[in-house]
Amino acid sequence: KIPFEIEEIRKDFPILKREVNGHPLVYMDNAATSQTPQQVIDAIVDYYSNYNSNIHRGVHTLSQEATDKYEAARKKVQDHFNAAHSYEIIFTSGTTHGINLVASGFASLLKEGDEILVSALEHHSNIVPWQMLTAKTGSILKVIPMNQDGELVMEDFYRLLSNKTRIVFINHVSNALGTVNPIEEIIKAAHEKGAAVLVDGAQAAPHIKADVQALDVDFYVASAHKMCGPTGVGVLYGKEEWLKKLPPYQGGGEMIATVTFEKTTYADLPHKFEAGTPNICGGIAFGAALDYMNSIGFDNIAAYEKQLLDYGTEKLLEIPGVRIYGISRKKTAVISFNIEGIHPYDIGTIIDKLGIAVRTGHHCAQPIMDYYGIPGTVRASFSFYNTTEEIDKFIEAVKRAKTMLS
Ligand code: PMP
């Protein structure tokens, strides 16, 4: 049973009507970026058609309208993630920007010998900024290992966590495997040792509504483009005390209180971290995307996507030679797999000819691929607008690819 009118939902997405290589598009690359409903497209068109203007500085009507809508969008993001204050919501260009902002700020807080913990399941954008941080500060990076099921080895986490740990950064959901990590437990244990926690919510945010106060997380980052919004905008939630402690990431207009050549004082939160003209339209469209997803309801989304995951997993495993990577019982609707003796890229190329969009490769998570000793996987990632009929088409296409390539 589907908890919403799936055919009505599909009508909201104009792109789902298009054909690819003579076949109806079957879009299963949602973990890379999600599709955009008409409601969000309308918000973008409305902005550029009716009140395109710079914010926070003009006295004229358009500037005030744009400022009001942008700040209203910040409030929507605040409500969605249940932040205590709207000024704890920093608009960024995306997850990568949010992580770099925090990592760069920690350079002034860490000293040689301090330790930072990362997990083996991270995306490159939650690895590289911290490596750069260790190079700057002489701090030490330690890695929480994973197991064959694609889960973190929690005994090792407890072994690695110590009074020297300053920050733990971990994704809520792995983009390569779909594993949902036990972030509640990690945050609690880290806090007991006095360490901060940054959660990369890029892959969780489209499926799970995180409550930053209930989680008691210090930083939570996500990208709008994975949640039915546009590219080039995202959110960094930070606890007030941390955002006050961190220095600004970029200098420029909008982030200052006063400037003379002798000295500059910085603006209050959130503007201290929002230098320059932001992605105004993007922020507003992000708000519209959250409205859209919340109108469907995250419980409904999760329940339906679980049906898609179970169905897709069962059907795929019926094909001889298929191996699925990451079989945690707690995972989002991501199936990362290979067929024995066949390169993932070849499968992706053939099924694209049949109109099916999946991702192939290392998914910006090379350490995971190294762990399994593979060059990459085929990753089908579902969204609430996918259907079991589409999964059937995908399975047929994979079977055809297998026959052709064997
Ligand atoms: N972290 C994870 C887990 C991701 O899946 C992604 C996007 N693939 C990112 C970070 C980076 O997000 P963005 O490219 O939107 O900055």
The predicted structure's pLDDT at residue 160: 98
Q: pLDDT tens per residue, the chain (406 residues)?
A: 899 999 999 999 999 999 999 999 999 999 999 999 999 999 999 999 999 999 988 889 999 999 999 999 999 999 999 999 999 999 999 999 999 999 999 999 999 999 999 999 999 999 999 999 999 999 999 999 999 999 999 999 999 999 999 999 999 999 999 999 999 999 999 999 999 999 999 999 999 999 999 999 999 999 999 999 999 999 999 999 999 999 999 998 888 899 999 999 999 999 999 999 999 999 999 999 999 999 999 999 999 999 999 999 999 999 999 999 998 889 999 999 999 999 999 999 999 999 999 999 999 999 999 999 999 999 999 999 999 999 999 999 999 999 999 9
Residues 15 and 51 in one domain: no
Question: What pLDDT is attached to residue 211?
Answer: 98
Asked if residue 125 has its Cβ within 6 Å of ligand 1, the reply is yes
123 ligand 1 Cβ < 6 A: yes
Question: Atom 6 of ligand 1 has which residue's CA nearest to it?
Answer: 202
Are the beta carbons of 89 and 237 closer than 8 angstroms? yes
Query: What integer pLDDT is reported at residue 254 of this predicted model?
Result: 86
CA of 283 relative to ligand 1 center, distance in Å: 18
CATH number at residue 368: 3.90.1150.10
C-alpha of residue 95 to centroid of ligand 1, in Å: 6
Note whether residue 177 is domain-resident.
yes
Q: Is 100 in the pocket of ligand 1 (CB under 6 A)?
A: no
Predicted confidence at residue 188, as pLDDT, reads 98
The answer to whether residue 35 is domain-embedded is no
Q: Where does a domain end: 295, 320, 343?
A: 295
Residues 304 and 342 in one domain: yes
Strands 334-339 and 377-381: antiparallel
The answer to whether residues 291 and 356 belong to one domain is no
Quick one: which atom of ligand 1 is closest to the CA of 98?
A: 16
49/91 same-domain check: yes
Whether 225 and 148 share a structural domain: yes
Residue 144's Cα: distance from chain center in Å? Answer: 20
Q: Are residues 276 and 361 located together in one domain of the fold?
A: no
Residues 281 and 306 grouped into a single domain? no
pTM over 0.90: yes
Same domain, yes or no, for 13 and 50?
no
Q: Three-state SS across the chain? A: CCCCCHHHHHHCCHHHHCEECCEECEECECCCCCCCCHHHHHHHHHHHHHHCCCCCCCCCHHHHHHHHHHHHHHHHHHHHHCCCCHHHEEEECCHHHHHHHHHHHHCCCCCCCCEEEEECCCCHHHCHHHHHHHHHHCCEEEEECECCCCCECHHHHHHHCCCCEEEEEEECECCCCCEECCHHHHHHHHHHCCCEEEEECCCCCCCCCCCHHHHCCCEEEEEHHHCCCCCCCEEEEECHHHHHHCCCCCCCCCCEEEECCCCEEECCCCHHHCCCCCCHHHHHHHHHHHHHHHHHCHHHHHHHHHHHHHHHHHHHHCCCCEEEECCCCCECCEEEEEECCCCHHHHHHHHHHCCEECEEECCCCHHHHHHHCCCCEEEEECCCCCCHHHHHHHHHHHHHHHHHHC
Q: How far is the CA of 258 from the centre of ligand 1 (A)?
A: 35
- Are 244 and 267 within one domain? yes
In a domain, 1, yes or no: no
Residue 125 CA: nearest ligand 1 atom is 10
125 CA → ligand 1 middle, Å: 7
* Residue nearest atom 4 in ligand 1 by C-alpha distance: 202
Structural domains in the chain (count)? 2
Any ligand 1 atom below 6 A from CB of 95: yes
**Alpha-carbon distance 15 to 35, whole Å?**
7
Looking at the structure, tell me whether residues 142 and 60 fall in a common domain. yes
CATH number of the domain at 83, please. Answer: 3.40.640.10
Q: Are residue 275 and residue 285 in the same domain, yes or no?
A: yes
Which residues carry out catalysis?
364
In-domain check, residue 288: yes
Q: Tell me, what amino acid is at 214?
A: A
36 lies in some domain: no
For residue 360, the CA-to-ligand 1 centroid distance in Å is: 16
Domain C-terminal end among 273, 295, 317: 295
Say if residue 291 is in the same domain as residue 340: no
Note down the domain range covering 311: 6-30+297-405
Question: Is residue 133, in this structure, part of any structural domain at all?
Answer: yes
φ/ψ of residue 32, rounded to 5: -80, -50
Ligand 1 atom nearest to CA at 363: 8
* Cβ 282 under 6 angstroms from ligand 1: no
- Is residue 282 assigned to a domain? yes
Q: Looking at 264, 295, 326, which one is the last position of a domain?
A: 295
Residue of 96, 221, 227 best suited for mutating to test ligand 1, as the one with most atoms within 8 Å of CB: 96
> 227 in a domain, yes or no?
yes
ipTM: 0.99
